[in-house]
Amino acid sequence: MTKQETLEIVGETPAPHTTPGASLRTGSGDPSPKIIRAVPKTGTVPDFVVSARSAAFRKQYFPGMPDTLWNDWHWQVRSGIRNYDELSRILLLSDDEKNALAPAKKRLPLLITPYYASLMDPDDSLQPIRKTMVPVTAELSRSPGEQDDPLSEEPYTPVPGLVHRYPDRVLFLVSDICAGYCRYCTRSRLVGRRPDGAGRIMDRWNAGIKYIASNPRIRDILISGGDPLMLSDERLEWLLQRLSAIPHVEILRIGTKIPATLPQRITFQLVRMLKRYPPLWMNIHCTHPDELTEEMREACRRLADAGIPLQSQTVLLAGVNDRTATLMDLFHGLLRMRVRPYYLLQCDPVSGSEHFRTPLAAGLSIMQELRGYTTGFAVPLYVIDTPGGGGKIPVMPECVMGQEGDTVVLKNFEGKLYRYRDNAALSHALLDRQDNES
């Protein structure tokens, strides 16, 4: 830690592109734009690495900004890119992107931190990270089989914000906001809207805690959202204290994309707090090798050094990471950061996501090419989170029961059958192998 001046928001009207820390919103028509500037006060700002790419981006779009401000995660969120005008200042937008960014058309809000924007190719609308965050018109259409709640979580929600699908574990949705909104988000119906007030959030949390405490079979809690690391340290610790105090709760997990989209959030203060609640695991949503920056490496180092086990979850996305070489680079890079590849998830059939979904045959081919050609520790489990509430089903011969036209029939852990509409005919190799093994 180094002694620095603390930072606060100061409202003033700066000269365009001259004031250190000026927002991309400066000059966008806001009559009283807000900027961030350093205010001489006593305090501490954590050291954090700044990669050459981040430094070059910052020099171009935020000239004169000090490291301490760029590395302030609150500033990153406040200065997030939220509309066409701000995005067009840093990216050469395609016609498709422009049409999708029309205010009345957005299915899901736009939010990209300046840090994550620095990873995007300004001239290539097909660059993988850019494709996952910048909307296109395809997301405005609903294809057959797509739903707003594709996993049927609502029927398994005994109290608001808590999903109890499996006997011994629950999903606790504690936040409605993220540091960036993935265009393929399963819970796009819930996230990015106007956040609830503090009173309503606490009511929801207390109801969830009461439900968990009254169900002794629950031993494992996945804390998700939105992104739980968007909560303040104080609120997050309040929640962890109460959940860890329930006698039958054995494991807490946090599902987050923060190390990839906002690694500056992983402060030493946050890590010290998380370390107090073992066994606490972290599942990191990671999409592409371009996310494996020096900043993400530092965030993962801090977490791993604190003894927090790290795993990754990756959604298989057409045109983003649906090549074996891409995923091998990603999984190898994650292992070097002490993150164990855990799940490779078939993209859920949420409304407006067909352009992201790969045929099952593509995922099967990738898994076959990974096995044997890299260490088993680098090979995640390929699963489908089945529509209709069937839960996660591994894409393995014993779970694939057959095919009805363009629909694959799958068997879940309860022996029940669920149907998944495939983008293309399932590879006969899997079914042939199933026949040969029977």
Nearest to 365 by CA among 408, 322, 400: 322
What 8-state DSSP symbol labels residue 371? Answer: B
- Rounded to whole angstroms, the Cα distance separating 291 from 330 reads 9
Query: Can you give the pLDDT at residue 413?
Result: 66
Query: Can you give the pLDDT at residue 422?
Result: 76
* Distances 240 to 229, 237, 277, 280, 385 between C-alpha atoms, Å: 12, 5, 7, 9, 27
Q: Give pLDDT tens digits for 189-247.
A: 888 776 566 668 889 999 999 999 999 999 999 999 999 999 999 999 999 999 999 99
CA gyration radius for the chain? 22
pLDDT class of 19 with cuts at 50, 70, 90: very low
Nearest to 150 by CA among 419, 424, 409, 425: 419
pLDDT at 291 over 90: yes
Query: Active-site positions?
Result: 165-166, 169, 178, 182, 185, 187, 348, 385, 392
pLDDT (mean) for 277-282: 97
DSSP string, 121-158: -TT-TT-HHHHHHS--GGGGS--TT-BSSTT--GGG-S
Q: What are the structural domains, with CATH classification, of the chain?
A: 52-139 (no CATH), 154-394 (3.20.20.70), 400-435 (no CATH)
- Rounded to whole angstroms, the Cα distance separating 131 from 294 reads 22
pLDDT (mean) for 389-401: 74
Query: Can you give the pLDDT at residue 30?
Result: 37
The whole-chain average pLDDT of the chain stands at 85
Query: Can you give the pLDDT at residue 15?
Result: 34
For 82, what's the count of Cα atoms within 13 Å in the CB-facing half-sphere? 12
- Rounded to whole angstroms, the Cα distance separating 385 from 345 reads 7
- Rounded to whole angstroms, the Cα distance separating 238 from 256 reads 18
Query: Can you give the pLDDT at residue 42?
Result: 35
Length of the chain: 438
Q: Give pLDDT tens digits for 85-114.
A: 999 999 999 999 999 998 656 678 999 999
The tokens describing 285, both together, are: 């949503």
Query: Can you give the pLDDT at residue 5?
Result: 32
Percent over 70 (pLDDT), the chain: 82
Query: Can you give the pLDDT at residue 214?
Result: 98
